[in-house]
Amino acid sequence: MPLSTQSQADDEQYVLVASLDHARNLSNILKAIAFKDHAIFSATPNGLKVTVEDSKCLQANAFIQAEIFQEFTIREDLVGFQVNLTVLLDCLNIFGGSTVPGVSTALRMCYKGYGYPLTLFLEEGGVVTVCKINTQEPEEPVDFEFCSTNVTNKVILQSESLKEPFSELDMTSEVLQITMSPSQPYFRLSTFGNSGNAHYDYPKDSDMMELFRCTKTQTNRYKMSLLKPSTKALALSCKVSVRTDSRGFLSLQYLVRNDDGQICFVEYYCCPDEEVE
């Protein structure tokens, strides 16, 4: 096991130790939520949750289960800190993020507790680099109060069916309008840009539609600038769940399979720009 030469005594001073044979499995999922500099890390015995927010209108969470790590040791029920995500990603890719077969960067991430830096030990080809990143006290993430009991509409799609429309979305449109309905058009994406209006419709019996559960017709608009970062998660994912609640809040859940075939989740919450009658 790479980087396991550190002594047991060293480990005991840390409240959190997480090791990965492939640092890319962490950096790839963090890139999917990297639209602001600062990220809030919350570690529990179940794993790691990383949260990034934009002006209380957008929130992204990456969930990395404890089983994904080769080692995941936590000495408190909850360990939380805030770090500069841009700096963290730069450190994780310090060896260039090599994709050469058989060559990978191993990671050991350690944290001593409040006031201490986040320490990364990165090893590739016998060379070990140590990075220390300053941490801050974590801010309390916004509670979007998005609970499953208030979900009115939900569809699960294979990501491929959304990748092309999202890559072709008219970015001159200030909003993306999402219509979900038990009757036609069922699931529709609409833009209103300089070149005119465009609609993408998904029949409920489409091969790409894995689940269609809509109880009422809802049309909501979301700022394109807020949704744009979520395309990073879409590009990595194999499935996406689109949900709206009774207030028109949007939840996008992405199922991401890493290089080792393990599953992680990325979730975006976005508040509606305006409701369309």
Strands (E), 38-174: 38-44, 47-54, 58-65, 71-74, 79-84, 106-111, 118-124, 127-133, 151-158
φ/ψ of 46, rounded to 5, equals -80, -20
Query: What is the enclosing helix (H) or strand (E) of 219?
Result: strand 218-223
Sort residue 261 into left (φ over 0), alpha (ψ -120 to 50) or beta. left
**In contact, 50 and 60? CB cutoff 8 Å:** no
Gap between the Cα atoms of 145 and 16, Å rounded: 29
The half-sphere exposure of 67 on its side-chain side, counting CA atoms within 13 A, is: 6
Neighbours of 206 (CB within 10 A): 16
- CATH 3.70.10.10 maps onto the chain at 11-136, 151-270
Straight-line distance from the first to the last Cα atom of the chain, in angstroms, rounded to the nearest whole number = 59
pLDDT at 141: 86
Gap between the Cα atoms of 15 and 114, Å rounded: 10
Question: Which architecture does CATH list for 11-136?
Answer: Box (3.70)
Per-chain mean pLDDT for the chain: 90
Whether the per-residue pLDDT at 99 is higher than 70: the answer is no
Could you identify the residue written with the tokens 């499935």? Answer: 239
The half-sphere exposure of 101 on its side-chain side, counting CA atoms within 13 A, is: 0
pLDDT at 146: 86
pLDDT in tens, 76-91: 999 999 999 999 999 9
Task: Say whether domain 151-270 belongs to CATH 3.70.10.10.
Answer: yes
Provide CB contacts within 8 A for 69, sequence distance 6+: 18, 19, 20, 47
The answer to pTM > 0.85 is yes
pLDDT in tens, 165-204: 888 778 888 999 999 999 999 999 999 988 889 899 999 9
